[in-house]
Structure 1
Amino acid sequence: RVLSLVHHEPRLADKEGVHSAGGVPLEDVLSAVDSLCEQSSVEEGREAAPGVGVVGEGQGAHFVMQAIACSRRFAVAVACSGYVCPKMHQSECGELPSLPPLALRSTPTDLPLIDALGAINTPLFLIHGERDECCSSAHSKLVYHTLRRNDVPTQLALYADEAHTFSRAESLRDATERTL
């Protein structure tokens, strides 16, 4: 089973708080996943749900990484063109970032993703275009190197001729095949 997180207005999600996808709190998404897994198990006559994968692109990729930083519900995750540091992302988009002081945050759900990477244990496949002007591939490279250093199974696929949204058929095909 795969949960896909897509958000078309990334700046709106960050205004409500670091941990929302389109205004939906992370806890609500995780509760929905639990409910779907329980329902699936009952319908299929199993005691436990199989592993659930989560996939996100752009803002959805950021949300995927937040989810796997504070939850062990997912067996695998894929993040395409995601950002890990809101301040860096906003500055890349020409905006001035604003977040509450770090001292006010204490758990992975309260931390900016960049500070919660050490909590990730879920295998992660990162996909990023090297020509992404909205969210540089430095974000995915940072996640990749951090997780590898922490012995988390992680792969990084960089596409030299792609931007934030992939447009070349061969890149789309390759990324899709590698994701599946």
Structure 2
Amino acid sequence: MTYIKKAKTPTLVLVGESDGEAPAPQSFQFWHALKALGVPTQLVVYADEGHSFEQFEDIIEVSARTMEWFEQWMPAR
């Protein structure tokens, strides 16, 4: 958060609700700061997930969402 005012890159934040390594409240703070600065951002919190995603449905969803994000912000030429 020290250098958040320099952030310009569109950012997708995906977090498990029970993440002990990077707790969801930290992700909320990061996402909120980016929104306040006008940086394109999206936050998705996955229930019953920790730092690494274990549920097959969530793994598929995270992969699809990530691919969509990159297609939107870094399209192939």
Same fold? TM cut 0.5: yes
Deviation per residue, 1:66-115 (Å, 9 max, x gap): xxxxxxxxxxxxxxxxxxxxxxxxxxxxxxxxxxxxxxxxxxxxxxxx11
1:132 Cα shift? 0.9
1:135 and 1:155 mapped to 2: Cα distance? 17
Correspondent of 2:55 among 168, 172, 175 = 168
Structure 2 residue 18 is the aligned partner of structure 1 residue 131:
yes
Please give the secondary structure, in 1, of the residue aligned with 2:3: helix
Please give the secondary structure, in 1, of the residue aligned with 2:43: strand
Aligned residue number for residue 159 of structure 1: 46
1:117 and 1:125 mapped to 2: Cα distance? 15
Deviation per residue, 1:103-148 (Å, 9 max, x gap): xxxxxxxxxxx11011001100000000112221112111100000
Bigger CA drift: 122-131 or 132-141?
132-141
> With structure 1 as the length reference, what TM-score do the two structures score?
0.36
The structure with higher relative contact order (CA 8 Å, sep 6+) is 2
Aligned residue number for residue 3 of structure 2: 116
Unmatched 5+ stretches in structure 2: 68-77
1:162 and 1:127 mapped to 2: Cα distance? 11
Query: How many residues are treated as equivalent by the alignment?
Result: 67
Structure 2 residue 30 is the aligned partner of structure 1 residue 140:
no
Deviation per residue, 1:24-59 (Å, 9 max, x gap): xxxxxxxxxxxxxxxxxxxxxxxxxxxxxxxxxxxx
1:169 and 1:117 mapped to 2: Cα distance? 33
Quick one: which amino acid aligns to residue 16 of structure 2?
A: G
Quick one: which amino acid aligns to residue 23 of structure 2?
A: S
> With structure 2 as the length reference, what TM-score do the two structures score?
0.82
1:123 and 1:135 mapped to 2: Cα distance? 19
1:125 and 1:135 mapped to 2: Cα distance? 15
